Structure 1
Amino acid sequence: MARAAVEIIDAEGPAAFSLDRLARRLGVKAPSLYNHFADKGEILAEAARVIVLDTPDHPDVVDGDWISWLIDGAVSFRGALLEHARAVPLVVENFPQRLLERLYAQHCRVLAGCGVHAAHQMFILEAVHRMTIGSAMCAATGRPAMAAPTAPEEFTPEVIATLSSGEWDDDRLFVESLRAFLQSVG
C-alpha cells in the first residue's frame, strides 16, 4: 500500500495523492484503507519509511576512514531520495524518527570504533543528515548548484568564470561540502 502511494507521488507529485486515488490504484474502496492505517498521514509516513529503506546498505569502514564511509552513506541516501524526487518534501515532513535513531546509534558505534570522540558523534551525524536532506531538497526542486547569477555585475570576473566553468554540479558540490565539513571536525 505504501509502495503504491510512493508510485502515485513519483508519477504525479504529492498534490495528486489522495486516499481515493490510492484505493483506485489498489482496486479497493477508500474506507478499506482504514483497516491498515489510521489516516492519510499514517500512509504518508509509511511511504516516507519505504523511501528511506530504499537506501542501499554501504560497506564497513575501510582502514579507519570514517569520513569516506560517512560520505558514501550520505551519497547513497541522497540517491535514494532523488530516485523519488517529487516525494523528497514528503520524506522531510514524515521522516521515520525511529529508523533515524537506530541508524544514529549504529553510526555512533562505528565512529567510536574509529576514535571519534563521543562528544562529536551526534553533532557529526546530525549535520551530515541535514546537509544530505538539504542537498536533496535543492536538487529535487530544481535549484541548480552554483548557477550563474542573475546580476553578474555584482561579482568579480573570477567568480563568474568559476560559476561558468561547469565544474560544480549538484553531486560534486554535495560531496565536497561534506568532505570539507567532516575534515574540519575530524
Structure 2
Amino acid sequence: MVNEENEGTVNENEGTVNEDEGMVNEDKGTVNEDKRVVDEDEGMVNENEGMVNENEGTVNEDEGMVNEDKGTVNEDKGMVDEDEGMVNENEGMVNENEGTVNEDEGMVNEDKGTVNEDKGMVDEDEGMVNENEGMVNENEGMDQPGWKEEPRHIVPPPPPSPPPLSMERRSKQLGDDRTTINDSPRHMYD
C-alpha cells in the first residue's frame, strides 16, 4: 500500500514536472520566436540604414558635382570678365590713338596753313621785287641817250555788237521768200 501510494505520488509529481518542463520549453520557443522577430526587425532597420547611407552618399556626390560645376561656371565667368576687360582696354587704347591721330592731323593742317601763309607772303614779296625791277628797268631806259617819252595812246573800246537777227529778218536778208518759218531749235542756225 505504501509503495503503491508513494509510487502514484511520485508518478504524479513526475507528470507535473514533465508538464512544467513542457511549459518551460514552450516559453523558450516563444522567446526564441520573439527573438527571431526582433532580429528580423533589426535586419530591416540595418538594411534601411544602409539605404539611407547610400542615398546620403549619392546626395553628397551630387552636391560635389554641383559645386564643381559652380566652380567651372565661376571660372568661365572670370575668363569672360577678363576678356571684356581686355576688350575695354583695347578700345580705350584705340580711342586714345584716334585722338592722337586727330591731334596730329590738326597740327599738320595748322602747319599747312602756316606754309600757305608763308608762301603767300613770299609771292607778295616776289611781286614787289618784280614791280621794283620793272621800275628800275624803266628808270634805266630813261637814262639812255636819245630817249624821249612817247605819247600814250588810249585805245577806245570796241563798238557793241548788233543784236542777233530774227528768223524773219534773216530770211528776208538772204532773199528767202518762204512765208512759213521753222522756229525749231534744230533749224534755227542752219
Comparing both structures, which one devotes a greater share of its residues to helix?
Answer: 2
TM-score, length-scaled by structure 1: 0.15
Q: Is the radius of gyration larger for structure 1 or structure 2?
A: 2
TM-score, length-scaled by structure 2: 0.14
